């Protein structure tokens, strides 16, 4: 009998189980339920922490050949860059040596003015050094993974800076590693201060602009902003210490049909090549001086 005439369908009296469409609908509903439950109740957070702890040695071993290749291939490029950096450092040192002669006098005047105005001293920054391991695997976000976690005292929401400025903020903490959302991520916003005018605003991440930048939103078309203005952290959010460099204004678009200007900024930190960073303790975790003593002193003075 030719093979083409054989019926390969199973006999109808054998139980076949649920159909493929039923399985698809069941597992789709289960996946949707797990996503909603994880978003609302964080049920998979312990599982993620355990998996991240177990996979950390494997990730470290897998990164060693890549790092060896990077170090070997970039030796001659780093040598040329080191010579250029040395010349720039010499020029910068010569400039700073001229300013150093005025530091002591300015510090003395600043101390006297603060005592005269009865202003409290700025809180000292505390932090710890960390190293960037790799970029986060999510292609729709701009995040990196650092080698410090909950066991090293890293707190959720801690600002992360490099030698040039604010790099981002810790948005997820595991026992051995932490996830840092970069300033150019669209979900991150930083209160900033224009050092030239003193105007406060908020900088939002703009990952699609020139490979990654920031944007000042809700700024009027007649706002006093100029190309090259330096933006620093204002400190009003209680997270970022004031005075840390964030970005410089790169481009301003004023449109007649819109009441707001489009202001694009270039981050000061090396968001695409940062390696050594500093995790700073948030201001909300610092012990600020109590302001309850002032009303008591006023009442005592009034009684006199």
pLDDT tens digit sequence for 173-206:
999 999 999 999 999 999 999 999 999 999 999 8
Q: 164 and 37, same structural domain?
A: no
Give the span between the Cα atoms of 35 and 27, in whole angstroms. Answer: 12
pLDDT at 150 over 70: yes
Query: Which of these ranges, 74-83, 222-231, 245-254, has the smallest mean pLDDT?
Result: 74-83
pLDDT at 148 over 90: yes
* 156 lies in some domain: yes
What does the pLDDT average to over 30-50? 84
Q: How would residue 293 be classed by pLDDT, with cut points 50, 70 and 90?
A: very low
* 138 lies in some domain: no
Of 69, 101, 133, the residue that ends a domain is: 101
Q: 275 and 179, same structural domain?
A: yes
- Residues 242/295, Cβ–Cβ less than 8 Å: no
Q: How would residue 169 be classed by pLDDT, with cut points 50, 70 and 90?
A: very high
Q: 149 and 56, same structural domain?
A: no
DSSP designation for 288 = P
Of 77, 101, 125, the residue that ends a domain is: 101
DSSP 93-142: HHHHHHHHHHHHHHHHHHHHHHHHHTPPPPPPP-EEEEEEEEE-S-TTS-
Question: How many structural domains is the chain composed of?
Answer: 2
Q: 243 and 148, same structural domain?
A: yes
pLDDT at 118 over 70: no
Q: How would residue 116 be classed by pLDDT, with cut points 50, 70 and 90?
A: low
What does the pLDDT average to over 58-77? 81
- Residues 164/270, Cβ–Cβ less than 8 Å: yes
Residues 6+ apart with CB under 8 A from 269: 161, 162, 164, 165, 166, 167, 168, 183, 245
Q: How would residue 152 be classed by pLDDT, with cut points 50, 70 and 90?
A: very high
Enumerate the β-bridge partners of residue 194.
Answer: 231
* 109 lies in some domain: no
Q: 161 and 94, same structural domain?
A: no
The model scores a pTM over 0.95: no
75-117 vs 45-73: helix axis angle to the nearest 10? 120
Owning domain of residue 249: 144-285
Q: 230 and 148, same structural domain?
A: yes
* 120 lies in some domain: no
According to the model, what pLDDT value does residue 284 have? 67
Q: 176 and 276, same structural domain?
A: yes
Report the percent of the chain where pLDDT is more than 70.
81
Q: 253 and 172, same structural domain?
A: yes
* 228 lies in some domain: yes
pLDDT at 300 over 60: no
Q: 251 and 154, same structural domain?
A: yes
* 6 lies in some domain: no
Q: 178 and 53, same structural domain?
A: no
* 39 lies in some domain: yes
According to the model, what pLDDT value does residue 232 have? 94
Query: Which of these ranges, 35-44, 95-104, 197-206, has the smallest mean pLDDT?
Result: 95-104
* 268 lies in some domain: yes
Q: 216 and 164, same structural domain?
A: yes
Position with higher pLDDT, 41 vs 26: 26
Q: 157 and 39, same structural domain?
A: no
The CATH number assigned to the domain holding 231 equals 2.40.10.350
**CA-based radius of gyration for the chain:** 28
Position with higher pLDDT, 170 vs 99: 170
């Amino acid at each position: 009998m030719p093979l083409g005439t054989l019926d390969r369908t199973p006999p109808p009296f054998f139980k076949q189980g649920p159909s493929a469409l039923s399985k698809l609908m069941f597992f789709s509903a289960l996946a949707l339920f797990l996503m909603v439950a994880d978003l609302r109740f964080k049920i998979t957070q312990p599982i993620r922490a355990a998996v991240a702890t177990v996979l950390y040695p494997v990730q470290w071993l897998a990164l060693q050949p890549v790092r060896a290749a990077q170090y070997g291939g970039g030796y001659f490029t780093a040598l040329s860059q080191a010579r250029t950096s040395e010349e720039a450092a010499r020029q910068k040192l010569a400039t700073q040596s001229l300013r150093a002669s005025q530091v002591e006098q300015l510090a003395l005047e600043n101390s006297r003015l603060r005592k005269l105005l009865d202003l409290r001293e700025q809180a000292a920054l505390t932090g710890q050094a960390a190293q960037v391991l790799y970029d986060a695997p999510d292609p729709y976000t701009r995040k990196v993974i650092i080698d410090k976690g909950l066991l090293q005292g890293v707190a959720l929401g801690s600002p992360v800076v490099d030698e040039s400025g604010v790099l981002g903020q810790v948005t997820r903490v595991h026992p051995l590693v932490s996830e840092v959302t970069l300033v150019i991520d669209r979900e991150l916003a930083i209160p900033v201060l224009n050092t030239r005018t003193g105007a406060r605003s908020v900088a939002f991440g703009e990952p699609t602009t020139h490979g990654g930048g920031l944007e000042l939103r809700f700024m009027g078309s007649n706002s006093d902003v100029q190309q090259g203005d330096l933006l620093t952290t204002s400190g009003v959010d209680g997270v970022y210490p004031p005075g840390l460099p964030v970005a410089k204004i790169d481009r301003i678009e004023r449109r007649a049909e819109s009441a707001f200007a489009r202001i694009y900024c270039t981050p000061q930190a090396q968001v695409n090549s940062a390696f050594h960073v500093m995790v700073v303790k948030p201001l909300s975790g610092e012990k600020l001086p109590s302001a309850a003593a002032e009303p008591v002193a006023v009442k005592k003075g009034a009684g006199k």
